[in-house]
Amino acid sequence: MKYKILVAEDDQDIAEFIKLYLENEGYEVIHALDGLLAYEETKKQKIDLAVVDIMLPKMNGYDLIKKIREDSNIPIVILSAKNLDSDKILGLDLGADDYLTKPFNPLELIARIKSNIRRYYSLGSQAGAAEDKETSVITVGDLTLDEESVTLKKGDKVITITPTEYKMMALFMKSPGKVFTKMQIYQAVNGECYVNDDNTLMVHISNLRDKIEDNPREPKYIKNIRGIGYKIEKL
């Protein structure tokens, strides 16, 4: 299968550079010079992953991510010169799955794209592979994770989560009470070696707490074990 990558980048030289590496890896590349064109491409055709710059004309990257997330759960990798922690946190809060700053190593970008696509389609394949299997439903407190439909519910309400957040919840809910180190969480989510990126992990944890906790400031589900990692409480 030839995956289709949308590159939303207004710098033509950078876009061509990315396109060269992606096509060399066998991807089909759709390039959009501004945010509005990029959003229109997501409506016209099936996109498997989007690489999004923040400082785009007509519609900036943050607004583009919000628009994509209104009707799609495809992986989004931000590629931007904006390198403050606040920029990364905002991008991840809006629904991006990964954040890479410019200047960047093209091999790292390729690795992150591969990781996010692999994660996304491994989740989607669970439902298709489960036709002859008993449905796997995991319950912790009033949270229910359905591995066949790849959904998370709190009570009767479906919680909208990203592929990264789903992987994290599956890891936690399959072993309630077990403490996972940051390295274990990263490897379970990305399927590869740990990269020291505490801010990204903390943002995903914070986003999950906002979605599942009654009071995110006093979480009853996802607990931080200082100096070690995180766990989900047995309830």
Is the whole model's pTM more than 0.95, yes or no? no
Of 21-25, 114-118, 135-139, the one with minimum mean pLDDT is 135-139
The band of 73, judged by pLDDT with boundaries at 50, 70 and 90, is confident
DSSP 2: -
Q: Is the pLDDT of residue 223 over 70?
A: yes
**Which residues, at least 6 apart from 122, have a Cβ–Cβ distance to it below 8 Å?**
none
The structural domains of the chain, ordered by start, are 4-126 (3.40.50.2300), 130-232 (1.10.10.10)
**Ramachandran region, residue 142 (left: φ > 0; alpha: ψ -120 to 50; beta: rest):** alpha
Average model confidence (pLDDT) across the chain: 86
Q: What is the reported pLDDT for 135? A: 47
In this model, does residue 142 exceed pLDDT 90?
yes
**What pLDDT, in 10s, does the model give residues 32-43?**
999 999 999 999
Tokens of 209: 């707490």
User: What percent of the chain is predicted at pLDDT more than 70?
Assistant: 91
- Residue-wise pLDDT for 4-25, tens only, equals 999 999 999 999 999 999 999 8
Q: What is the pLDDT of residue 115?
A: 86
* Contact of 27 with 7, CB cutoff 8 Å: no
CA–CA dist 9, 56 (Å, integer): 7
3-state secondary structure of 159: strand
Distance CA 203, CA 147 (A): 24
